[in-house]
């Protein structure tokens, strides 16, 4: 199916990181970069940070495939908040409390924690420069780049690239100015998500994020995972902490097997149908 007309969508968010969710398992509708941009436009489209597409499972290891598109039309392999939303939808529809979602970043195992709380094993933190990826061999614990108040981040991939900068006061960081420049730094051949993090205690971190391909968002699940791993690697926190974002807190734990467990809420705010004029 190529016609966007009448295609149902759900409007969801995780701590204000908002999504248009398309379940195309029956229609076969194919999203493109242009269509994603049109849907995500907050004036002429539905408006969202990412467009999330539920597709038929591609193996017997998962219940569904999920593809993810930023507001600028770029595709990303990982999105923690969207993963919780899709997992909740699938569990609600099937009356089950566990589901496996497959993405370009691998298999994601999700479980209901009751109500609208969902826990997701976001897979292993990738710490090698090649996995981020970076343009050259660099110790990911100290990338050695910087701009203004943001200096010397930790590089972590959760299937998507993150640069975590630790600062004394997150509120003083002009992320709208520094974020886009650092997102496009030459060391990141695929760009990067930019996090400014302030450690509040051994199990609490305040973080704000400039997302690759989207800009400042209220929350970023993979960014929260990357921030906890970065803090633990630097010895600033333990391996479990609440990461407090603009939209609320996620509980993140870096497990002994290097997988990262993310727990947080989901919200379903509306449903509707797309109109073909969206693409005009």
Ligand X SMILES: N[C@H](CCC[C@H](N)C(=O)O)C(=O)O
Which spans of this chain sit near ligand X (rule: CB under 6 A)?
17, 50, 70, 76, 79-81, 160, 193, 211-214, 217, 220-223
Question: Measured from the CB atom, is 153 or 213 closer to ligand X?
Answer: 213
Count of CB atoms within 10 A of residue 94's CB?
11
Residue 190 Cβ vs ligand X, minimum distance, rounded to whole Å: 9
Per-residue DSSP letters for 111-177? EE-STTEEEEEEEEPB-SGGGTT-SS---TT----EETTEESPEEEESSSEEEEEE-S-GGG--HHH
Residue 220 designated active-site? yes
Is 193 annotated as ligand-binding?
A: yes
Q: Between residues 27 and 106, which has the closer beta carbon with respect to ligand X?
A: 106
Place of tokens 């921030």: 227
Q: Is 155 annotated as a binding residue?
A: no
Tell me whether residue 232 or residue 252 sits nearer to ligand X (CB atom).
252
Catalytic residue among 48, 79, 85, 225: 79
User: For residues 105 and 77, is the Cβ–Cβ distance under 8 A?
Assistant: yes
Pairing label, strands 17-23, 50-55: parallel
- The distance of closest approach from Cβ of residue 252 to ligand X in the complex, given in angstroms and rounded to an integer, is 11
To the nearest whole angstrom, how small is the minimum distance from the Cβ of residue 271 to ligand X?
21
Is 60 annotated in some ligand binding site? no
Instruction: Give whole-number Cα distances, 134 to 191, 220, 228, 234, in Å.
Output: 9, 21, 20, 20
Instruction: Dig out the tokens for 35 from the structure.
Output: 């269509």
Q: Has 152 been labeled as part of a binding site?
A: no
- Minimum CB separation from ligand X for residue 246, in Å? 12
Is 225 known to be catalytic? Answer: no
Strand partners, 119: 111, 263
Tell me if 271 is assigned to a ligand binding site. no
Which of 48, 85, 220, 225 does the annotation list as catalytic?
A: 220
Could you give the angle at which helices 221-233 and 80-94 cross, rounded to 10 degrees? Answer: 120
Binding site listing for substrate = 17, 50, 70, 80-81, 160, 193, 211-212, 221-222
**Which residue numbers are catalytic?**
79, 220
């Amino acid at each position: 199916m190529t016609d966007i007309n009448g295609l149902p969508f759900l409007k969801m968010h995780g701590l204000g990181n908002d999504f248009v969710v398309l379940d195309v398992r029956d229609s076969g509708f194919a999203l493109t970069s242009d269509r994603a941009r049109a849907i995500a436009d907050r004036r002429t489209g539905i408006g969202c940070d990412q467009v999330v597409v539920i597709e038929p499972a591609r193996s017997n290891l998962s219940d569904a495939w999920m593809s993810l598109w930023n507001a600028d039309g770029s595709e990303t392999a990982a999105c923690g908040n969207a993963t919780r939303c899709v997992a909740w939808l699938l569990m609600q529809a099937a009356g089950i409390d566990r589901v496996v979602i497959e993405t370009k970043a691998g298999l994601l195992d999700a479980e209901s924690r009751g109500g609208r709380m969902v826990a997701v094993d976001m897979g292993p933190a990738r710490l090698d420069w090649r996995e981020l990826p970076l343009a050259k061999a660099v110790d990911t614990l100290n990338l050695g780049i910087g701009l203004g108040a943001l200096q010397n981040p930790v590089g972590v991939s959760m299937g998507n690239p993150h640069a975590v900068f630790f600062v004394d006061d997150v509120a003083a960081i002009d992320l709208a100015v520094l974020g886009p420049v650092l997102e496009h730094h030459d060391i990141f051949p695929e760009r990067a998500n930019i996090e400014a993090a302030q450690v509040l205690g051994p199990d609490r971190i305040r973080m704000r994020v400039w997302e690759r391909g989207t800009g400042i968002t209220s929350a970023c699940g993979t960014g929260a995972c990357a921030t906890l791993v970065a803090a633990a690697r630097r010895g600033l926190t333990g391996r479990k902490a609440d990461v407090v974002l603009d939209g609320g807190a996620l509980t993140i734990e870096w497990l002994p097997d290097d997988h990262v467990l993310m727990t947080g809420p989901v919200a379903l705010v509306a449903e509707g149908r797309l109109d073909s004029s969206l693409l005009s």
